[in-house]
Amino acid sequence: MRVLQAFYEFECHLFQNVNQHFDKKYLNFFFRTITHLGGASFTIGIMLILLIFSSKETRMTALASALALASSHLPVHFVKKLFPRKRPYITLEETKFPANPLQDHSFPSGHTTAFFSVIIPFVLLIPNLAIVLIPLGICVAISRIYLGLHYPSDVIAGGILGSLVGFLCFYLVIVN
């Protein structure tokens, strides 16, 4: 139990170190913008565009990404029900957060899961894309902490879950 308490305290400290910069104008603009890359409108929209307008190999990878996006949503939904962790802006005093924050549970981060589930098939197809897409995914994850909506472990779990589902869907669609 002491280990869990120590981990939680470390995580809260890390969260507060990121969230304390909420009032900085340029960081605020950056993180409020980039967080939408993991949102439903963006991820679904990009997948539809790629499915409709791309060549065969890219279309198949987009299909793997779309399947990963849809498939990753189910475990996120069920894990949030099984582990109803309150969001940090609710539990930690002095957390800075935007108006009208999300009301559901925080674990795991759906935005982070969605973004990683969509990018991993493309990274597997074209490994050089990792140079751009992985840092973008990390920025989406950090944005969720910055905005006071997730603990670090929420986004780590989301990144791992999204990556695993993206990897699995790529191999189911492309390799088989």
Rounded to whole angstroms, the Cα distance separating 112 from 79 reads 14
Rounded to whole angstroms, the Cα distance separating 166 from 26 reads 32
Contact between 67 and 173 (Cβ < 8 Å) = yes
| Cα–Cα nearest to 148, from 29, 20, 6, 30 | 20
pTM of the model: 0.93
pLDDT digits (tens, 9 = 90+) for 48-105: 999 999 998 899 999 999 999 999 999 999 999 999 999 999 888 888 888 877 778 8
